[in-house]
Amino acid sequence: MPASLDATLRLVVLTAFIFNTVLVLVYVERKVLGHIQQRLGPMRTGFHGVLQTPADAIKLLVKEDLTPTTADRWVFRLAPFLVFVPVFMMFITLPFTRELAVRHLDLGIFYLVSFSSLHIVGMIMAGWGSDNKYALLGGVRAAAQLISYELPLAFAILGVVLLAKTLNLQEVVELQATAPFLVLQPLGFLIFLISSLAELSRTPFDIPMAESEVVGGPMIEYSGMRWAMFFLAEYANLFVTSAVAAVVYLGGWLWPFLPPADLAGGWAAHLVGLAWFMAKTFALILAIIWLRGTLPRLRIDQLMGFAWKLLIPFSFLNLFITAAAAVYGGFLLLLGWVATGGFAYAIYAVSRRRP
């Protein structure tokens, strides 16, 4: 098979996968939120409403695509794609199993981190291009929030890189055969989770889209296809971020039951690996949905304070401990657990403080 055909095929499969995953995710979110609120969620389209999200998708596709007359036309029209494309790019190096990935990049983690911050551009463009004050406010909020949380996210993942001594995601997973990096990097995992919540603009950090304040933020003027693109990007991002957490910290397709020796070849091994990967990813996604069903949202200044005063110092600390462990011996990693306790106490103390 020529390389170009192979790549095209992989991309087509990947695109189909993303679209379907988003449909499933939206359905799962609506169902879980429904049950959290003691209702049933979608029930009428198909068995228990399984066809609700495809129906919604079709509805969005055939809806009129409006552009406000005063909008900055090209900025406005381009923005949804600039939000979606970086998220799509992140999927490319995501290893579902040992073999199953579009490309195993040697700079995988670096690639992921850099692309994860790119969709900010689209957000700002949407906020500016809409010529709407709510959108502008939301866009600026998005910029501030996403850039601030990019730092702790990158620093947290840097700890794993120090331990693994590689940026290749596949090798990172292979190194977790005995124990996932969660055990060695508890603080990094926590910081990664919290800052990826903010990166995703999910509750309690859904400030750019805050419905009761800026009514959807950058997306306020979008309709039909373009709005669907934002939606697609949001949920695809949710999946890919959870997947990265699963791969980097929870052992991806390996942990806990599958010894790497059994994995060599064979479809069954592949499928079990894929199932593990999906189970971990969806567990994280469900946790995020659960948080959404419980928490109110923070205010923008509290959010920024949380990033700069708490997350970034502790991500530095995590990096220090990991670096020290890499130089002086692995026992120092125990300090990571102490630091996690400190981190938990710091959050507790901050949350107790009242003006």
Partner 1 sequence: MIGVLKGLVQTWKTHWRKPVTVQYPDERLPLQPRYMGFPGLIWDQAIGEPFCTGCQVCMRYCPTQCMYVTMQDNPKQAAGESKRRKIVETFTIDISRCISCAICVEVCNFDAIEMTHAHERAGYYPDVVPDLPQLLKMSEDFRAQRGQKPARETRDVL
Partner 2 sequence: MITERRLDTVDMHINVGPQHPATHGVFRMVLRVDGERIVDCVPYIGYLHRGFEKLAENEEFQEVIIHLDRTDYIAQFNNEFCYLMAVEKLLGVKPPERAEYARIILAELNRIVSHLMFYGAFGGDAGAITPFLYAFRERERLQRLFESVSGARLMHFYFRAGGLKEDLPEGFLEEVRRILPVLKQGIDECDTLLTENEVFLSRTVGIGAISAQEAIDYGCTGPILRACGVREDVRRSDPYSLYPTLDFDVPVGKKGDTFDRYLVRVQEMRESIRIVEQCLDRIPEGPFRTPIPRYPHYRVDPGEVYVHTENPRGDYGIYLISRGGVQPFRVKLRSPCFCNLMALPAMLRDAYVADAVMVLGSLDIVLGEVDR
Q: Return residues touching partner 2 (CB under 8 A).
A: 33, 36-39, 133-134, 137, 141, 203-204, 206-207, 210-215, 292-302, 351-352, 354-355
The set of residues, in sequence order, having a beta carbon less than 8 Å from that of 140 and lying 6+ positions away, is: 124, 127
Q: How far apart are CA 142 and CA 181, in angstroms?
A: 30
Give yes or no for a contact between 180 and 148, defined as CB atoms under 8 angstroms apart. no
Residue 35: contacted member of partner 1, partner 2, none (CB under 5 to 8 Å, by partner type): partner 1
| Minimum distance from residue 59 beta carbon to partner 1 (Å) | 20
Contacts (CB under 8 A) with partner 1, residues 9-38: 32, 34-38
Q: Does 74 bind partner 1 (CB under 8 A)?
A: no
| Minimum distance from residue 126 beta carbon to partner 1 (Å) | 31
Smaller CB separation from partner 1, 83 or 303: 303
Smaller CB separation from partner 2, 271 or 287: 287
DSSP-assigned letter for residue 209:
T
Residue 44: contacted member of partner 1, partner 2, none (CB under 5 to 8 Å, by partner type): partner 1
| Minimum distance from residue 137 beta carbon to partner 2 (Å) | 7
Binding mask 179-208 for partner 1 (x = CB under 8 A): ------------------------------
Task: From 102-110, 227-235, 276-284, 288-296, give the range in contact with partner 1 by CB under 8 A.
Answer: 288-296
Among 11, 28, 43, 151, contact with partner 1 (rule: CB under 8 A): 43
Q: How far apart are CA 115 and CA 112, in angstroms?
A: 5
In the block, which residue shows the tokens 């419980």? 294
Q: How far apart are CA 17 and CA 9, in angstroms?
A: 12
Residue 203: contacted member of partner 2, partner 1, none (CB under 5 to 8 Å, by partner type): partner 2
Smaller CB separation from partner 1, 35 or 103: 35
Amino acid at 264: A
**For residue 353, with 0-12 CB atoms within 10 Å meaning exposed, 13-18 middle and 19 or more buried, which class applies?**
exposed
Residue 131: contacted member of partner 1, partner 2, none (CB under 5 to 8 Å, by partner type): none
Q: How far apart are CA 48 and CA 266, in angstroms?
A: 36
**Distance between alpha carbon 14 and the CA centroid of its chain, in Å?**
17
How would DSSP label each residue in 244-280?
Answer: HHHHHHS-TTTTTT--HHHHSS-HHHHHHHHHHHHHH
The set of residues, in sequence order, having a beta carbon less than 8 Å from that of 205 and lying 6+ positions away, is: 145, 149, 197, 198, 297, 298, 303
Give yes or no for a contact between 97 and 174, defined as CB atoms under 8 angstroms apart. no
Smaller CB separation from partner 2, 22 or 136: 136
Residue 65: contacted member of partner 2, partner 1, none (CB under 5 to 8 Å, by partner type): none
Give yes or no for a contact between 276 and 255, defined as CB atoms under 8 angstroms apart. yes
Q: How far apart are CA 334 and CA 349, in angstroms?
A: 23
Q: Does 309 bind partner 1 (CB under 8 A)?
A: no
Smaller CB separation from partner 2, 107 or 215: 215
| Minimum distance from residue 294 beta carbon to partner 2 (Å) | 6
Chain positions contacting partner 1, by CB under 8 A:
32, 34-40, 43-44, 290-291, 293-295, 344, 347-348, 351
